[in-house]
Amino acid sequence: MRKWIIILIVVGLLGWAIYDFTSKQIAKEEDPEVGIEKDNSAPDFELTTIDGETVKLSEFRGEKILLNFWASWCAPCRSEMPDMQKFHETYDDVVILAVNLTETETSKTNVTNFLDEYEITFPVLMDSETVVANIYNARALPTSYLINSDGRIHNIATGPLNYESMVQEFDKMD
């Protein structure tokens, strides 16, 4: 009789350990931690476009996103923009959200002139108080977050991206 009680306790403990482990794994897969590290769920935000439309990051859940922080005075940003525009025109399954650090600009006209000069057609969001840039720790410009269709950060790039690297990184996403 004692053996059966000990066996039941051991089997029960083993069953509990397996249940506890698998439930934590399922929870981890379903609810990734919100943060700015790779595999974290990208923090949601709401900004206004240069045209006055309100945009929320979470509105694009289900799509791949290139979230880029930039400024018109930034030389590396200038070198990256033509490739970003080409990528936007070529890959219509990727959303580009370019967040301008408006607080660092001398005027909104500089931003408008920059967009006209480079014939930018993707959404440009105005971070007038650098709140979103601070959340994403975008200290060096440009900084880009590549976000998969589940809303998780796939990769983070500090410095300018070229067309080929954009293609390679987004091709790696599921």
Determine the 3-state secondary structure of 49 from DSSP: strand
Q: Under a CB-based contact definition with an 8 Å cutoff, are residues 144 and 156 in contact?
A: yes
Residues 23 and 87 in one domain: no
Residues 2 and 59 in one domain: no
Task: Give the CATH number, domain containing residue 82.
Answer: 3.40.30.10
Residues 36-45, mean pLDDT to the nearest whole number = 97
Angle, CA 58 vertex, CA 73 and CA 121 arms, to 5°:
40
pTM above 0.95, yes or no: no
Asked, for residue 38, whether it belongs to a domain, the answer is no
Asked, for residue 40, whether it belongs to a domain, the answer is no
What is the tens place of the pLDDT at every residue in 123-157? 999 999 999 999 999 999 999 999 999 999 999 99
Q: Which domain holds residue 107?
A: 46-172
Residues 16 and 80 in one domain: no
Residues 78 and 116 in one domain: yes
